[in-house]
Amino acid sequence: MNIPFLGKRRDSPRAPDPEGIADLLAECELLRSQASREGVRLDDSAASLEALDQVLPRWRDDAEILPWLGNDAGLYLGTVIVRTVPGAAWHLWPDGRLVVRLASGREFDVVAAGHEWATAGVPELSQLYAEVAEA
C-alpha cells in the first residue's frame, strides 16, 4: 500500500509532504457543509472565523454530530492559522495529538479548542485566531 505522505516502503523513507497534509486537514467537510447551509463561505480567512462565530449552533442538539463538528472546527481554525500566520505549521506529536506550532515554538491545541467552541461557543474561533496571530 502506498500512502504518499507516509512513504513508499520502510526501507525507503520519504519526508511527509507538508502541503499535502495541510490540504487534507483543510477539508473539514462537515463544518463546511454546516456553514454553507447557514450562508457562510469558508475561505480560510480570519473573517470566515468571525462569520462562523455568528452561526446559530443547531448542532449542539445532535450528540452524534457534535464531536465531528468540533474536530472540523479545530482543523479549520488550524488551517486559517497555518495559511495566514507567517511561520505557523502543523505538528503531529508521537501520541497522535495534532497542534499548530508557531515560528516562536509556541503550540496551540486547535482541535481541543474546536471541541470547546462546538460544545459551548467559547472561546470564539475568531478570538483564538487573534490571540495566536498576535503571539
SS3 content of the chain, % helix, strand, coil (to 5): 50, 10, 40
45 pLDDT higher than 80: yes
Q: Establish if 53 belongs to a structural domain.
A: yes
Q: What is the pLDDT of residues 86-120, one digit of tens each?
A: 999 999 999 989 999 999 999 999 999 999 999 99
Q: Establish if 4 belongs to a structural domain.
A: no
Q: Establish if 11 belongs to a structural domain.
A: no
Rounded Cα gap, residues 58 and 65, in angstroms: 10
pLDDT at 26: 83
Q: Establish if 101 belongs to a structural domain.
A: yes
Q: What is the pLDDT of residues 63-89, one digit of tens each?
A: 999 999 999 999 999 999 999 999 999
pLDDT at 14: 53
pLDDT at 22: 82
Structural domain harbouring 117: 18-134
The 3-state DSSP class for residue 42 equals: coil
H or E element at residue 56: none
H or E element at residue 101: strand 98-101
Rounded Cα gap, residues 12 and 57, in angstroms: 47
Q: What is the number of structural domains in the chain?
A: 1
Quick one: which of 34, 114, 30, 37 has its CA closest to 80?
A: 114
Q: pTM for the complete prediction?
A: 0.84
The band of 9, judged by pLDDT with boundaries at 50, 70 and 90, is: very low
Q: Establish if 109 belongs to a structural domain.
A: yes
